[in-house]
Amino acid sequence: MEVEEEEVVVVVVVVIVVVVVDEEVVVAVVVGVVVVVVVEVVVVVIVADVIVVVVVVVVVVVVEDEEVVVVVVVVVVVFLVVEVVVVVIVAEVKIVVVEVVVLVVEVVVVVVVVVVVVVVVVVVVVIEAIVIVVVVVVVVEVVVVVVVVVVVVVVVVEVVVVVVVVIVVIVVVGGGGGVVVVM
């Protein structure tokens, strides 16, 4: 399978458009390709026209029959018109293909940017959710510690109260060795 010169040019343009993000460079490359294609088409048409004109002149000089000459000239004119129309259409198709390739590349770049932005947003949201969960866990742990401290303080106070009550009961009830004052 042979690779056409146009295919190579299109591949090179696509690579340049994909690799180079600078719009001015991309526009310059596309304009350059269009100019090359137009110049190539014009050169091909001119060379073909020169060959056809030489053939017509030879036919006119060699053949003296006017009808044959008229038929040859008409055929050549029709051929040239058709050729020019086909060449112009092909050139326009090439330009449209380049524009479509550039458009596709721009769409791909936009899609990639959107995907990257979405991924970054999702990652940030997940990280924020993790931070919120960690903060909630820490707050719950702090609340648990505070509750435990309060319970311990209450228990200590109750023990102190019980000890004081026991001491008071012992002193009041069993205070046998105290001083008795008689009046």
Does residue 152 lie within any of the structural domains? no
Provide the domain limits for residue 122: 5-135
Does residue 148 lie within any of the structural domains? no
**Low-confidence stretches of the chain (pLDDT beneath 70):** 1-49, 52-53, 56, 59-69, 71-72, 76, 80, 174-183
Does residue 85 lie within any of the structural domains? yes
Question: Measured between alpha carbons, how far is residue 112 from residues 25, 51, 80, 124 in Å?
Answer: 21, 52, 48, 18
- Res 139: pLDDT: 95
- Res 100: pLDDT: 83
Does residue 159 lie within any of the structural domains? no
- Res 1: pLDDT: 47
Q: Are 145 and 153 in contact (CB under 8 A)?
A: no
Give pTM, 2 decimals. Answer: 0.39
Does residue 83 lie within any of the structural domains? yes
Does residue 171 lie within any of the structural domains? no
Does residue 179 lie within any of the structural domains? no
Residues 67-104 have pLDDT tens digits of 666 766 777 677 767 777 777 787 788 888 888 888 88
Question: Measured between alpha carbons, how far is residue 171 from residues 41, 161, 178 in Å?
Answer: 125, 15, 9
Q: Are 34 and 98 in contact (CB under 8 A)?
A: yes
- Res 107: pLDDT: 87
**Domain total of the chain:** 1
- Res 150: pLDDT: 95
Does residue 108 lie within any of the structural domains? yes
